[in-house]
Homo-oligomer: A and B are copies of this chain.
Amino acid sequence: MTTPAPPPDQTLAFQAHDHSHCCGDLIARAQVIAGERGARLTPVRRRVLEILLEHHRALGAYEVLERLGQDGFGNQPPVAYRALDFLVEQGLAHRVARLNAFIACTHPGQDHSPAFLICRNCQAVAEAPGGGIHAAVETAASLLGFAVERTIIEALGLCPACQEAVE
């Protein structure tokens, strides 16, 4: 039997897909991206990325930390925060401000500032392209004379699957 055609990568978090393939692929790409940037994807860092990749949802630093401890890594907060900070700096993960939590990036290597779509029912988080939104923020800000350097865009609501499940 053949696996279904891979969905457009933008709907990844909201669709059934071959997730082990999706993870494996992203880990491999992370390895390459880190190499290109002269950064080292060490065992802890790699494991943290794997943990984040297990679900398409955001995990708190302490959730990650607990898993690390179980795997024999250090189990004190700085261990998790340092690895998470590294992944965010390298563009391999994102921080979701609303949740005080972290999520693996699904489009690494494409320097971007996405909009996060957070499902309030199943907690899945997807990245939507932020281009048009940034332009709108620019417009609104320039009317007040404000110079935007970075924007945070997070939408709460229901993902496609949960719109049917919840009414």
**Interface residues in chain A, defined as those with a beta carbon under 8 Å from any beta carbon in chain B:** 3, 6, 10-11, 14, 97-98, 100, 115, 117, 119-120, 126, 128-130, 132-133, 135-137, 139-160, 163
Contacts and interface: CB of A to CB of B under 8 A. Distances in A.
- Interface SS, A side: mixed
Contacts of A98: 97, 152
A144 B115 CA distance: 12
7 interchain residue pairs of minimum CB distance: A145-B160, A149-B157, A136-B136, A97-B97, A133-B136, A128-B140, A152-B154
Given A11-B144, A128-B140, 14 more contacts: A3-B142, A3-B145, A14-B145, A97-B154, A98-B152, A117-B141, A126-B144, A128-B144, A132-B136, A132-B139, A141-B155, A147-B163, A149-B155, A150-B155
* Residue from the set A100, A144, A159 with the largest chain B CB neighbour count within 10 Å: A144
Nearest to A131: B140
Contacts of A154: 97, 151-152
A158 to B, nearest CB: 5
Contacts of A159: 145-146
Contacts of A140: 115, 128-130, 132-133
Contacts of A6: 143-144
B14 A152 contact: no
A143 B3 contact: yes
